[in-house]
Structure 1
């Protein structure tokens, strides 16, 4: 399946805590003079109305917490933790944090530096076994800031179709990249890389003499009382954990099979909104690292990324946090550090947009403009296919196009090909075939539609039909590597 249309697995996010402490100089509070506190009842109603609309129109499912000065002003859960068993999400539901794990890993590195065990400008290979020649000039700082040039393993061509279901352990996925060329010379570019943070996890182990899960537990979870948080990369059952889901329009579906064992430092933590609030509040003190170390983590961040922290300007305010996605989850922890406002969104719906949700909830709190979520074109088409069939969806597409003839989305094949591949992945092959055929009626030079029909033919055992479609795809786009690889696999 074309990787472009597969659900993305893993990016980043942030964290929080309930320990109230005196703000450090690095995070001093600057309140807007004379700004009245939001009316609790009106604020609660506005938050809930937004989230109910998001449930209806944007596949939201999960738990949300908004806290001011460490005190929750809104905490509520929506949707199902497990659809098969009709178990609703609750405030204590445990969610896969995905890349919200990265700030934890980065802080472990800073703790090791404060203890004199390493320096962030040390060469990473000093602490890694069997380092390839291409990695010899890479520093720990460059791993922390995604400037090492090491490609993320989840971008390998075979990742979604094959490698993501393989058993990996203790950085094994990262070590697959040993023989891959760097994307750029160390320090000369920026590219988000889970590989780099898995290598940081291995460095923590080498320096500390403990496993990474032990270090998370010893340095964060036990001291901060984060009793419902754990590092989990196995098939063992986690009590109270939500199941991650993908979506087909408004319908939740099971995620594609994926190994839970690939990440080791880039992701792997599971937690609740209240445990993350404890983490958040601890970050306002010197309890975890010194002010100087924290300042180093957020100083001179290029590409809006420091040492494991995403740094944004949202609503005209400084926001330091991290997002995460993958395995059917979408998460974000947004910390408006000058306002001491924390917004945590943990969703077990990969279709949900935790970033947009957190930003809009913050806008509601600050009295800024925001828009209620509306159902997108893709979801409307997929819903029509499931309720009335592909012909009804085609009619809907034509009506939408007639209403917005100049809209860019109707000038390319992307929307239809995306819908087709969403159906292919379920699989609903007959419906997918009809959509790809219609896409070719609308866009006769749609190479990717031929790829989709080739994939369906292969699933049906029609090898010669698949070859014809891949060959036609290459006639339309001679650079189409997907068709080149597809033909190669067939002929081998």
Structure 2
């Protein structure tokens, strides 16, 4: 009996020591601030970061700083209250609005979407609201090109909807995950029809005003919005350039909100309370429908994944000179928000590094990438077609007069620069490639690292041609 008691006491003591060690392993606020400052100096110098960051623990900011210019022409610096277009971070607000309507008995997320849409195509009949929330509906959505040159003009929803109805599904509803804006555009339509208000009005009355998010709202290019930043793009070694304002399909309920780091912290804090939704609805919103990507799943307007051994719930947004990320670690009450008005930036990567600093995990300081010469005969071996399964996409690599070029689906062809014989990088985006070889030196595939980390951080492609 004494041995049993002694064993139990030792186990309790060991657990206490382990818990204490785990707690003390978290850096202090001062340590975090010093390391964040060091990292951000390099991010500004090397990666041309321009924007605002906020690191908080238990709802209190540890670091809240801004870098670069909100408006280069007028010499206006970014500040913590600078307003940024948050792009796809909008989706979490749309998902919250849908959950609000469910709590009020207006809908059920398991309802067929066609219950709320007249003249629904036969192929859409099996699609539920949950499928739209989790991007598993299979709806493709019509592009601007298919409907006409509409940039800068009010979006004709009726034309977009009719064109979208005619497109075939990309997969059986509920079967495959495919990131797109169309489902959230349709969710905005549901919010308007069931609430009797515009999408922007519903969010203002039910989310922004109750949370006193005074610098958050629905984007309108015609409105004067105080402290609004301009979107830019600057590549390493190149001058900064304006990015034309874009009002495109996929904004609206998929990407049409503007906000600040300060307001997004208010939003984050509200998600720990029942001020907007019950705990049950919040948990439902954060629960993935299926694990579609190894180690990373999509819930309703949020990605869920493990980072540094901690559960992260987050989302990014990228649009017309703005690139952003919000990361939440609910168990530890840690929040990292990165909003940038340099569209070439790497807000997702910066968010990951700032999170690593908070948890005492390892990270790397940004360094300038230097191109080296690689023989054209070596580049010839890399030429070919590579298929990536998640997401389903193709890279076509060509050697054009000693320059390795990458073409991804319908995107513009981009030059790849060598860091070594097998490692390459892009200057236009924070993307790196590593070519894989078999024991005989034959090229079998490639690994693609997307520095922004907002969707598929690491993709593996097999050489098929």
Fold-level match, TM-score > 0.5? yes
CA distance in 2: counterparts of 1:405 and 1:317, whole angstroms: 45
Does 2:274 align with 1:281? no
Residues 135 and 178, structure 2, Cα contact 8 Å, conserved in 1: yes
**Cα-to-partner distance string for 1:367-390 (whole Å, 9 max, x where unaligned):** 11001122346xxxxxxxxxxxxx
CA distance in 2: counterparts of 1:234 and 1:400, whole angstroms: 46
Does 2:74 align with 1:85? yes
Per chain length, whose mean CA-contact separation is higher, i.e. which structure has more relative contact order (CA < 8 Å, sep 6+)? 1
Question: Which residue is 2:321 aligned to?
Answer: 328
Q: State the SS of the aligned residue for 2:224.
A: coil
Q: 1:359–1:410: structure 2 CA closer, same or farther, 3 Å change rule?
A: farther
Residues 25 and 360, structure 2, Cα contact 8 Å, conserved in 1: no
CA distance in 2: counterparts of 1:121 and 1:230, whole angstroms: 29
Q: State the SS of the aligned residue for 2:215.
A: coil
Structure (1/2) with the larger helix percentage: 1
Question: Which residue is 1:348 aligned to?
Answer: 341
CA distance in 2: counterparts of 1:130 and 1:139, whole angstroms: 16
Deviation of the 1:444 alpha carbon: 10
**Cα-to-partner distance string for 1:196-226 (whole Å, 9 max, x where unaligned):** 0010000011111111111101111110000
Q: 1:83–1:33: structure 2 CA closer, same or farther, 3 Å change rule?
A: same
Question: Which residue is 2:256 aligned to?
Answer: 268
Does 2:131 align with 1:142? yes
CA distance in 1: counterparts of 2:37 and 2:98, whole angstroms: 39
Further displaced range: 196-205 or 300-309: 300-309
Q: 1:447–1:374: structure 2 CA closer, same or farther, 3 Å change rule?
A: closer
CA distance in 2: counterparts of 1:74 and 1:374, whole angstroms: 23
Q: 1:452–1:204: structure 2 CA closer, same or farther, 3 Å change rule?
A: closer
**Cα-to-partner distance string for 1:139-177 (whole Å, 9 max, x where unaligned):** 1010000000011445x7669x94555541457545531
Question: Which residue is 1:478 aligned to?
Answer: none
Deviation of the 1:452 alpha carbon: 8.5
CA distance in 2: counterparts of 1:441 and 1:259, whole angstroms: 38
Q: State the SS of the aligned residue for 1:248.
A: coil
Question: Which residue is 2:299 aligned to?
Answer: 306
CA distance in 2: counterparts of 1:171 and 1:80, whole angstroms: 38
Deviation of the 1:362 alpha carbon: 0.8
**Cα-to-partner distance string for 1:9-61 (whole Å, 9 max, x where unaligned):** xxxxxxxxxxxxxxxxxxxxx99744255333332121011111111111211
Matched length: 375
Residues 333 and 342, structure 1, Cα contact 8 Å, conserved in 2: yes
CA distance in 2: counterparts of 1:409 and 1:359, whole angstroms: 36
Q: 1:45–1:174: structure 2 CA closer, same or farther, 3 Å change rule?
A: farther
Structure (1/2) with the larger strand percentage: 2
Does 2:367 align with 1:357? no
Does 2:207 align with 1:216? no
Q: 1:83–1:323: structure 2 CA closer, same or farther, 3 Å change rule?
A: same
CA distance in 2: counterparts of 1:98 and 1:446, whole angstroms: 26
Deviation of the 1:118 alpha carbon: 0.5
TM-score, reference length from structure 2: 0.74
Residues 25 and 359, structure 2, Cα contact 8 Å, conserved in 1: no
Q: 1:213–1:447: structure 2 CA closer, same or farther, 3 Å change rule?
A: closer
Question: Which residue is 1:459 aligned to?
Answer: none
Give the one of 371, 374, 394 matched to 1:401: 374
Residues 233 and 261, structure 1, Cα contact 8 Å, conserved in 2: no
Residues 171 and 202, structure 1, Cα contact 8 Å, conserved in 2: no
TM-score, reference length from structure 1: 0.70
Unaligned stretches of 5+ residues in structure 1: 1-29, 378-396, 415-437, 454-492
Deviation of the 1:227 alpha carbon: 0.5
Residues 171 and 264, structure 1, Cα contact 8 Å, conserved in 2: no
Deviation of the 1:411 alpha carbon: 4.0
CA distance in 1: counterparts of 2:262 and 2:405, whole angstroms: 52
Question: Which residue is 1:430 aligned to?
Answer: none
Give the one of 308, 321, 324 matched to 1:315: 308
Question: Which residue is 2:190 aligned to?
Answer: 203
Question: Which residue is 2:236 aligned to?
Answer: 249
Q: 1:101–1:257: structure 2 CA closer, same or farther, 3 Å change rule?
A: closer
Q: 1:94–1:409: structure 2 CA closer, same or farther, 3 Å change rule?
A: farther
Question: Which residue is 1:476 aligned to?
Answer: none
Question: Which residue is 2:217 aligned to?
Answer: 230
Residues 172 and 262, structure 1, Cα contact 8 Å, conserved in 2: no
CA distance in 1: counterparts of 2:218 and 2:340, whole angstroms: 18
Q: State the SS of the aligned residue for 2:35.
A: helix
Question: Which residue is 2:278 aligned to?
Answer: 290
Deviation of the 1:131 alpha carbon: 2.4
Give the one of 391, 398, 402 matched to 1:442: 402
CA distance in 2: counterparts of 1:149 and 1:40, whole angstroms: 45
Matching of residues 155-166 of structure 1 within 5 Å = 162=149, 164=151
